[in-house]
Structure 1
């Protein structure tokens, strides 16, 4: 991410606002704190910075209007990295959003 492309997000206790989007990403985190979320529009991804005080998980409900993965109008799989390594996650797909639950270990700093 080039410095001028970095756009911080607005994070509350339960939601994330990405750029000027009116749709919010909702989240819930266990054993950690969400510090920052930076959208990478070129890679069509989100960089999540967390402080993980123990093994835990983060659940993100992402409206399709904010971020989606489709090929020929069919859902494509998301790819998740936890501190640069492929991470395990569960996904629930609906017509309006995609919900990801991503597991992380104590000390994790970044999820993409």
Structure 2
């Protein structure tokens, strides 16, 4: 069972929707990963992320897709790449990441509540 948190703790997370504008292989990563560039609209602009999603996704199939990401974690250096947001996903039956995103187009930068 997970430990309960206060509503105020949840409100600290900024989970927003962005559109993947560019995706590339990330061969320097320790585990297979892709480098992603995401547009979060005029308020937040473009941010980068490293994501271990190579099992289900190829770079060319990701461009244009809307996904959810935590945008207020501190940036993290992943090898030669600075990851600025955490793209969200759920594990499939083999533990491989499946991305989370809206099933309809929504305004970029919209916050999940």
Q: Same fold (TM over 0.5)?
A: no
Q: TM-score, normalised by structure 2?
A: 0.32
Q: TM-score, normalised by structure 1?
A: 0.32
Larger Rg: 2
Bigger proportion of residues as helix: 2
